[in-house]
Chains A and B, each alone.
Chain A
Amino acid sequence: MNLNTDNKLNEQQLNSIEKHLLNDFQHGFPLVSRPFKKIADEIGTSEEVVIETLNQLQNDGYVSRVGAVFRANSIGASTLAAMAIPEDELESIAAMVNEYSEVNHNYKREHQYNLWFVLTASDEHTLNAVLDDIEHRSGHDVMYLPMLEDFHIDLGFELDFEHDQKSAARI
């Protein structure tokens, strides 16, 4: 990732407009002609500042996008997949998996199944073809774990800028 992950997060460096933009509009983004103007009015600044700040937050990597989070499998097809890869092959196989535009997340995790990635494609056929290709090229099986039921009500994630303690439960 081309991101500065180690330097700047020092939450104190975020100003109050940035904090509002990061926390208050994770869901229910205004569906009106001038949404950034509406946000600006709510947090007491100008439309221009809102747009500029969001651009900056996006460039700095704090914000991935302003837009939709789609429900898994409501459009296209997606699945979680896992592989158990010997440590000395992990680097090269992870890089190979990253090559696929269908792969949007790819993590190393502490388990015998140590490579975990999410694949998303327009349809299940494409998804299967990519999984087969990865198995073929890597010489390792892929465990395929599609979502069956979603229990999460996604209202975003409340960032705790004040304390170093765990975020509060919503219930």
Chain B
Amino acid sequence: MDMKVKYRLPSLPQQAVLDEQDQALITLIQTGLPLTPTPYADLAKQLNIDEKEVIQRIQDLNETKVIKRFGVVVRHHELGYRANAMTVWDIPDETVSELGLCMGQFDFVTLCYRRPRRLPDWPYNLFTMIHGKDRDDVLANIQLLAKRCDLDEIEHKVLFSTRRFKQRGAIYR
């Protein structure tokens, strides 16, 4: 089968510069902190550095936005938010940033990304993940979003998930 070269991008967004110690730390924390009284000291021991340095490095990763959020990562489905719909929008390039920023503020929107269009099959360039307790709840959230961000004229599709084959945290290395 042919490489779908036209579907590949030449480059992904700029990556942060991380030294080996950062990378080793990320490898250790990507599956979660050890649930012990002194998690950072325990990580430090594994990395052969001291606790202060572990905390400082995590702080730096937070500040440089390599880490988006540091804390308890919950599973929506298990907590009663049984429905989620990837809602995709075909927004003119000139207004996509403005509308994306508007949508990204709502807490039921857990992802809000611009992605490339794949014409002619796929015209949608803004992807939002919308959670809710059930389908109607999700649809109501989408309506609220459309109203607040003035999206009435924007062509969109609501792709409910009907089955979860796999879900876990990303493993980078």
Contacts and interface: CB of A to CB of B under 8 A. Distances in A.
Given A74-B16, A157-B107, A66 B37 contact: no
- Chief secondary structure at chain B's binding surface: mixed
A27 B140 contact: no
B116 interface: yes
A17 interface: no
A149 B68 contact: no
Given A25-B72, A67-B32, A124-B12, A151 B4 contact: no
Given A78-B170, A152-B104, A62 B165 contact: no
B7 A171 contact: no
B86 A116 contact: yes
B123 interface: no
Contact of B107 (A5, A78, A122, A169): A169
Contacts of B148: 169, 171
Interface string A142-155: 11111111111111
A41 interface: no
A29 B115 contact: no
Contacts of A58: 32, 35
B75 A67 contact: no
B110 to A, nearest CB: 6
B172 A22 contact: no
Contact of A104 (B8, B76, B171): B171
A63 B12 contact: no
Contact of A33 (B41, B103, B112): B41
Interface string B120-141: 0110000100011100010011
Give the one of A47, A74, A104 with max B CB within 10 A: A74
A170 B69 contact: no
Interface of A: 1, 3, 5, 9, 11, 21-22, 25-29, 31-37, 47, 51, 54-55, 58, 60-80, 82, 94-95, 97-98, 101-111, 113, 116-118, 120-122, 124, 128, 132, 135-136, 139, 141-159, 164-171
Interface of B: 1, 3-4, 7-9, 11-13, 15-16, 18, 23, 26, 29-33, 35-41, 51, 55, 58-59, 61, 65-81, 86, 96-97, 100-101, 103-116, 118, 121-122, 127, 131-133, 137, 140-141, 144, 148, 157, 159-173
23 contacts: A9-B80, A31-B59, A36-B37, A55-B35, A60-B78, A66-B32, A67-B32, A67-B169, A69-B69, A98-B165, A105-B167, A106-B167, A108-B162, A118-B170, A144-B4, A145-B118, A150-B112, A151-B103, A152-B111, A159-B74, A166-B133, A169-B108, A169-B144
Q: Give 8 nearest A-B pairs by CB, closest first.
A: A65-B32, A151-B100, A151-B104, A76-B172, A29-B71, A108-B163, A120-B170, A149-B114
Given A36-B39, A171-B148, 19 more contacts: A1-B164, A5-B77, A25-B71, A31-B58, A58-B35, A62-B78, A67-B33, A101-B171, A110-B162, A142-B4, A145-B122, A148-B115, A149-B114, A152-B109, A153-B104, A154-B68, A154-B69, A156-B107, A167-B107
